[in-house]
Each structure stands twice: as C-alpha cells, then as structure tokens.
Amino acid sequence: MKRRTFMSRVAALVVGVRTLFRPIAAAAEKISHGKFPWIGKKTYWGMAVDIDKCIGCGQCVRACKVENDVPDTPFYFRTWIERYVVRKNGEVEISSPNGGQDPFPPVDQPESVTRSFFVPKLCNHCETSPCVQVCPVGATFKTEDGVILVDKDYCIGCRYCVQACPYGSRYFNPVSMTVDKCTLCYHRITKGLRPACVEVCPTNARIFGNLADEESPVSKFIREHKTSTLKPHLGTSPKLAYKGLDGAVK
C-alpha cells in the first residue's frame, strides 16, 4: 500500500468513526450540566425554598409524616428543618429537634448571635444523583418527569444509597425494610395537587411546580430571584433551589 493511500484511508476511518459516535456524544452533551434537562419535556417537577420566609413551625415535617406514613419517631424524615445560629465569633450551631417538629429551644447568650435562620431540607432530586448511580439493583431511579424514586418492591435494603446521598435525604424504613425518601408526593403531584409540605406551609416558603412550564410558580420564582443550590461543587445538579442560602449552610 502506498503511503498516500494509507494516510487517506486512516483519515477516512477517523471521520467515519466520529460520524458514527456523534449521536452518542450529543446524548452525553444533553445530560451534562448547564443545560436545562426539562427542555423538550411536558412535565419536569421541581421545588424552591425561600429561606427568608421559613418560620420553623414544623408543619411541613408533620404533614409529610402523615401523608406518607413516615414512622413517627425521631430520625425518620423525608423532610426536616434545621436552625442555624451564627455567633459573632463565627461559630455555627445547627439544631433540628425531632426534625423541627419539637419547638426550637431559646438560644444561650442571644446577644452574641449575629444571624439565625431556618433551612427546610428534603431530597434535592439531583439530575446526576449519586444514589441512582450506586443502586446495585436499579431500584432507585429518575422518572421521566425528573423525580427520584425508590422502587420499594424491588429495593433489597442494602442502604448503599443512604451512604451515597450527600444531603442525608434518605433513611431506612423499619416497617417496609427498604430505603425511603421524598417522592415530592408523587401520588399528589400526578393528580395536579401540591406536595403535602407545600400545601401546609403557612408562609409560602416552599414553592412547587412544573419546571418545563415557564408560567408555573417554581419557574417564575427561580427566574425572578437569586437562588442557588446545596453543595454545587459535588456536581450533582440538584433541582431544589434555595433563595437566601447562607454560606454557613451545610
């Protein structure tokens, strides 16, 4: 084979292979960060939290437990409230008595407190979620409409996902003997209702809706306010947006 023929055939092969893999590269681009994953979809559920409005009453935590049969004992939560107390010397105290269901106690030395606020927490329904990646049996997954769910008929209860979640959003349910987590009240939202926590929030600190719909409350809220997400450096691309997120929040 002539050197010229060889070179041109190699070039043709490279071009051919590239063309062949272009659709795969395009698909990879689609799930990469920075682009809205709901583009081209009809429904894609999301939530936003307005920290400046949360009063730490705990109604969301109670409502979630009632609606979803979450065991009514401490440390089983699909959603919970944390109170951050930042002192003048920079010390941060985080508390969550019974997930925020019990009253938050008065703080010691209130004169040294420089700022304090409540942060409601729940599953962030990440786009590239570690929990989905580690599940050995494919029991935790992302639905077409963007919600991370646990298939309780299929979960083997290995709790690998509990460890993988950087937000602590999962727990092991001692009744079902499977992992359990926030479903954004999937049984409600698919009927056009709000999740229970959003329904009972007295100050509209939780905003819920369809991210694919520009006119939905959550799309408007995220568009019109300065929001951010928890632990963005982990690259999990959470869909839970926070307004008024303080640097002290973990």
Residues interacting with another protein, by CB under 8 A?
A: 52-59, 63, 66-68, 83-85, 103-104, 106-107, 110, 113, 116-118, 138-139, 141-144, 147, 149, 151-154, 183, 186-188, 190-191, 193-194, 196, 199-204
Listed in sequence order, the residues at least 6 apart from 9 whose beta carbon sits closer than 8 Å to its beta carbon are none
Residue 10 or 27 with smaller CB distance to another protein? 27
**CB 19 to another protein: min, Å:** 27
* Beta carbons of 49 and 120 less than 8 angstroms apart: yes
Q: How far apart are CA 164 and CA 75, in angstroms?
A: 18
**CB 226 to another protein: min, Å:** 17
CA atoms within 13 A on the CB side of 75: 4
Residue 170 or 188 with smaller CB distance to another protein? 188
Q: How far apart are CA 223 and CA 238, in angstroms?
A: 16
**CB 144 to another protein: min, Å:** 6
**CB 233 to another protein: min, Å:** 26
Residue 9 or 115 with smaller CB distance to another protein? 115
**CB 103 to another protein: min, Å:** 7
Residue 59 or 124 with smaller CB distance to another protein? 59
One-letter amino acid at 64 equals: C
State how far the alpha carbon of 113 is from the alpha carbons of 5, 85, 96, 159, 180, in Å.
77, 7, 18, 38, 36
